[in-house]
Structure 1
């Protein structure tokens, strides 16, 4: 990881070096994945995760965490007409709750930067080689579908009940004949903490049904990589008695991030065009 730098230093660097872009991302995983692509594409850019940037040009709001700070930096760049600095943020649940973007910010078209290297068939092959675990087509579909449904419910919760937390998902996951599924009603029922919120919590079930009925396209557009990590690790424990470390999937996907695997995605093609 690059050493921590002040935002003012990065802007001066961008002004003095007309051949190198400065790219600000949310976190180290984004830095690693995008860095793998830049290396293969021979793009001259310095990538900084938000925790390594000291915002000294204005007083940032703490709202929205690292993503919120990246968006605030992008807004500042737009206002100041600063060139050769680009911000990148994850789409996350943008399908359900919009956030404002500036021309100085590029957002992913899938849920997050880390999800792009995910190829379900490649994942199944790796698990077979590394852990001698056979993942059937139905079992793999169950993991993908359950991860998408759980992630979608999380995005919808953020829209209808911001600031509220869902209960731990583990007790609402079920495995039958090696196929994992989620008991949505049970998860919502356990998540109800304050009686007046009960109606809003239960309306999420209808929200989810509508979202699923309207869903088309790539499941990775809705899958939260952290949620899928939890679902995958639960499946391993229940089916094979294997305990994978928390964050296993994210680390695996960083290792799978290559120029070849990323360059086929439109997002990275757009990123390359912006920096050329």
Structure 2
């Protein structure tokens, strides 16, 4: 991954330099053009400006066709690796039902339209909260595994995109549980981005009420991070260091090791899976 990242950053730096040089040259040329009387000088400057514009356009097109989606992918992966393993909740409830009720009360008091005990895609959700472009799905389960997360995330995606016809927004699918299976933790920091310019985002958040831990993608300041911190952890953003666990998760070390063999061709061919 490091080699791929170096190439991407170098290409981006070259592209930016050429574009800036082109812009400066064009502005300077426009300013001095009326004072130039030599036909040969004007012709030469026209050639130079044409070449710079063409090179800039080619570099921009090459970068965004080759690296734009890759850059977003690498940003997400680096976010998963660099994030702390878990966060500590500020809530004191130690039972699933009590924790759910506390979250429900906060969502309602903040203007969310809350519904309880509903079935979506043949799955039972304990709660759903909606407010403009913000969506919150709550699932209470004793033991949480990876398959649960995948199934409920799919149901939430379908409900938001088909049931509510939304193409922009932020959605948190929260699992309030007594224990989290090790394999489920590998999805705790995964972000699913959809739509034009990734304007619709889904993130899971796993609440282990017994240990007082919340597993989610909390490194970068996003709307989903804010929603999780405010309503699941009951804390403000930026998240204070006292709520950050010091340990990293096993899957983060495994992902870092796995990314050492990552290549651009793997990404293009869709043959590289991080989870």
The TM-score with structure 2 as length reference comes to 0.30
Bigger Cα Rg: 2
More strand by share: 2
